[in-house]
Chains A and B, each alone.
Chain A
């Protein structure tokens, strides 16, 4: 290292929205003003994972982790830390060692139990500079595959590693590559599924933003293994930063002769084209994605034939998820045994989760398969804020289910999650506390699927709509116990009769909440109560006369004038006028208002 320090500024989506670009340009300016621009290297990186504490700045060689940095803090960091060698205390992570010194960030609870394999370069290199990727063993795996291995040997290594698809289904990746290789055709394609449809998840986005070349390299390796010379990356249009980083990465790889007619001068051709989605969840389903990549309506196709036999433009096509590809180069370089040494018997390696919802450390975490939910929530996630109780975790998005608190010690892998009625999904992990109503959550997901059903087949189009209406009745206190039974039967009907994965999994959130939170459904139906106080039709607001001091704050806060009372007298809410907006609860300093 020629420079005496490196300053890394997070350029991930979370931090960018917190103005990290401005922080970066401030550093440029102030380093220059202090004539430090030759001595200190400034790097814009991808996501560090701890987005909730963003914008993040990390200073090396010491690894000081600054959080919630503002452009106005930059001068102090340069003057105090870089020039005088004194870290800026007030911007540090507050976690201390026993001896009272601040912990280096990779030893804090959030990072300690993680194992960053897929995310190895995120927050480390500048994703817009191919030289940095090359300096971290970039494109060595492709070179190794082409010069030292036959295509079949590449596939054998992937098979032996036990890698399974990270897009949700968990299908063995090596086997899929084998199918694509076995198909005989004059033309084949390699496709990357970067549609990341699970609402509330952003693993793939962070990989593309932080380390786009790792995906490009893996697609090249796949092309060599199955005999394809053209790749497509289908990426959501909602991800502008990821799109632009991919464009830059592809252009640089072309310029360096890494992509192209004679890729890396090793005698094989490989090119990659980007295709943008346009806001349709079903396009994450692989056959719908192929239709959309061809520029058509993104409706699923009947399977079989599977894409490996007849895919894009009717040709054999290998389609994998972003995170699946992001594992490939390490497996080629370090070997199948190394990869298979991590994880559980049938789920190898690591999994990236987007940890969100009611949890302290929201962000991106990568853990070895088999880590328990407890470790993720209590250690890495730092527990539930505001002293609330953990109620459930949702995985698998609209196709998945809720894991109740009683199963918090379940080791997370593909098969365990299926066994408890959820699924791995692509990696969304949403934590819920006692203030979340499980019926409402089920309804939320159903509304999503009803909205996103492509309408091609009736069980999904009509069935889910009916299911949604029944849930709506439950949340309004209008359902009967018979309706609950009917709901369950309808769930099974939809699952068995829908054409594609969207319809086949859409009832899962309902089934899993019925399984673990039946009492909550019953409370809505029989007692006409929403225990969490979420379902508006079933809550009523009341002022506790014993606690009210008659300050009048609630009265002023109420938008519809539903509260009356003289000053220093107990106030009352008129339930007929009350619109249940909750403004009074927020206004009252005495916690006198209950729902």
Chain B
């Protein structure tokens, strides 16, 4: 295991602190990965191996967990993540067509990031705003009662 710091010194310090705190917690691996992703935005392989060695599990196990859950990212995401809800309530109200429009506009499929690293497209499950279906999120912001015509407007808002 290399002693090199991962990411910025601040990130690395935060990461090491989390690992230290979790040493006394039963079943810590997933918690460590979640915190690491909060810190780094994704899970670089160096981060995974440090988690593995800290808690005495194999890198395969950490990697296996990372690939099992859809929320762990092995690659960095775009500046904005557009998450289109494909939960049932949104689907029956036409969120499939909205996703199609984003795919067409951005030229990427769900899970992919645009070449300029600006947008990542995600198909999400119910986020609990079904009353406003169909909905999507950009970062933490929620947009509801959408129609296909709103797509351009939303993209324009993040056009910086």
Binding site for B on A (CB under 8 A): 13-14, 16-18, 50-52, 54, 197-202, 205-206, 237-240, 273, 275-281, 292-299, 313, 354, 356-358, 362-363, 394, 397, 428, 430, 432, 436, 441, 444-445, 454, 581-583, 586
* Option from A197, A201, A238, A292 in Cβ contact (under 8 Å) with B30: A292
Report A-chain residues with C-beta under 8 Å of the C-beta of B61.
296
* Option from B28, B30, B64, B132 in Cβ contact (under 8 Å) with A14: B132
Question: Are A363 and B131 within 8 A (Cβ)?
Answer: yes
A428 to B133, alpha carbons, bound, how many Å? 14
- Give B30's nearest chain A residue, CB to CB: A295
Question: Are B30 and A200 within 8 A (Cβ)?
Answer: no
Shortest CB-to-CB span from A56 to chain B, Å, is 10
User: Does B56 lie at the interface of the complex (its beta carbon under 8 Å from any beta carbon of A)?
Assistant: no
Question: Are A199 and B71 within 8 A (Cβ)?
Answer: no
- Give A50's nearest chain B residue, CB to CB: B131
User: Does B125 lie at the interface of the complex (its beta carbon under 8 Å from any beta carbon of A)?
Assistant: yes
Question: Are B30 and A357 within 8 A (Cβ)?
Answer: no
Question: Are A239 and B88 within 8 A (Cβ)?
Answer: no
Shortest CB-to-CB span from A29 to chain B, Å, is 23
Question: Are A293 and B27 within 8 A (Cβ)?
Answer: yes
User: Does B78 lie at the interface of the complex (its beta carbon under 8 Å from any beta carbon of A)?
Assistant: no
30 cross-chain CB contacts under 8 A = A13-B127, A13-B128, A14-B129, A14-B132, A17-B144, A18-B132, A51-B132, A199-B86, A199-B88, A199-B89, A199-B125, A199-B126, A200-B91, A200-B126, A200-B130, A201-B126, A275-B31, A276-B31, A278-B33, A278-B72, A295-B27, A297-B64, A297-B68, A298-B69, A356-B133, A357-B93, A357-B133, A428-B88, A444-B91, A586-B149
A54 to B129, alpha carbons, bound, how many Å? 11
Shortest CB-to-CB span from B39 to chain A, Å, is 15
Q: How many residues of B contact A (CB 8 A)?
A: 43
* Option from A50, A363, A436 in Cβ contact (under 8 Å) with B92: A436
User: Does B70 lie at the interface of the complex (its beta carbon under 8 Å from any beta carbon of A)?
Assistant: yes
A528 to B128, alpha carbons, bound, how many Å? 37
Question: Are B128 and A238 within 8 A (Cβ)?
Answer: yes
* Option from A17, A237, A273, A454 in Cβ contact (under 8 Å) with B71: A237
User: Does B109 lie at the interface of the complex (its beta carbon under 8 Å from any beta carbon of A)?
Assistant: no
Shortest CB-to-CB span from B102 to chain A, Å, is 14
Within 8 A of A (CB), among B102-150: 124-133, 135, 140-142, 144, 148-149
- Give A199's nearest chain B residue, CB to CB: B87
Report B-chain residues with C-beta under 8 Å of the C-beta of A277.
69
With A279-B70, A297-B68 already in contact, the answer to whether A356 and B131 are too (CB < 8 A) is yes
Rank and list the top 10 A-B pairs by shortest CB-CB distance, nearest first.
A51-B131, A200-B88, A17-B142, A356-B89, A278-B69, A199-B87, A202-B128, A279-B70, A295-B27, A279-B71
Question: Are B26 and A313 within 8 A (Cβ)?
Answer: yes
Report B-chain residues with C-beta under 8 Å of the C-beta of A354.
89, 130
Report A-chain residues with C-beta under 8 Å of the C-beta of B127.
13, 238
A331 to B70, alpha carbons, bound, how many Å? 38
User: Does B151 lie at the interface of the complex (its beta carbon under 8 Å from any beta carbon of A)?
Assistant: no
User: Does B154 lie at the interface of the complex (its beta carbon under 8 Å from any beta carbon of A)?
Assistant: no
Question: Are B128 and A296 within 8 A (Cβ)?
Answer: no
Chain B 7-50 interface 0/1 with A at a Cβ cutoff of 8 Å (1 = within): 00000000000000000011111110110000000000000000
Residue among B70, B129, B132 with most chain A CB within 10 A: B129
With A237-B71, A296-B65, A298-B69 already in contact, the answer to whether A17 and B29 are too (CB < 8 A) is no
- Give A242's nearest chain B residue, CB to CB: B128
Shortest CB-to-CB span from A364 to chain B, Å, is 8
Report B-chain residues with C-beta under 8 Å of the C-beta of A276.
31, 34
Shortest CB-to-CB span from B128 to chain A, Å, is 4
Question: Are B130 and A278 within 8 A (Cβ)?
Answer: no
Question: Are B93 and A358 within 8 A (Cβ)?
Answer: yes
Residue among B72, B127, B131, B149 with most chain A CB within 10 A: B131
Question: Are B34 and A54 within 8 A (Cβ)?
Answer: no
- Give B126's nearest chain A residue, CB to CB: A199
Within 8 A of A (CB), among B57-99: 61, 64-65, 68-72, 86-93, 97
A52 to B61, alpha carbons, bound, how many Å? 44
| New contact pairs (12) apart from A14-B129, A358-B92, CB-CB < 8 Å | A13-B128, A16-B142, A198-B88, A199-B86, A200-B87, A201-B130, A295-B28, A295-B29, A297-B64, A354-B130, A394-B88, A428-B88
- Give B83's nearest chain A residue, CB to CB: A238
* Option from B27, B34, B126 in Cβ contact (under 8 Å) with A278: B34
A23 to B149, alpha carbons, bound, how many Å? 28
Report A-chain residues with C-beta under 8 Å of the C-beta of B129.
13-14, 17, 51, 202
Shortest CB-to-CB span from A399 to chain B, Å, is 12
Report B-chain residues with C-beta under 8 Å of the C-beta of A583.
148
Report B-chain residues with C-beta under 8 Å of the C-beta of A436.
92
Report B-chain residues with C-beta under 8 Å of the C-beta of A362.
89, 130-131, 133
Shortest CB-to-CB span from A360 to chain B, Å, is 11
Residue among A51, A278, A279, A394 with most chain B CB within 10 A: A278
- Give A362's nearest chain B residue, CB to CB: B131
A18 to B135, alpha carbons, bound, how many Å? 12
Residue among B27, B31, B88 with most chain A CB within 10 A: B88
Shortest CB-to-CB span from A48 to chain B, Å, is 11
Report A-chain residues with C-beta under 8 Å of the C-beta of B126.
198-202, 238
Residue among A277, A294, A356 with most chain B CB within 10 A: A356
Report B-chain residues with C-beta under 8 Å of the C-beta of A278.
30, 33-34, 69-72
Question: Are B88 and A444 within 8 A (Cβ)?
Answer: yes
Question: Are B91 and A298 within 8 A (Cβ)?
Answer: no
A279 to B130, alpha carbons, bound, how many Å? 18
- Give A200's nearest chain B residue, CB to CB: B88
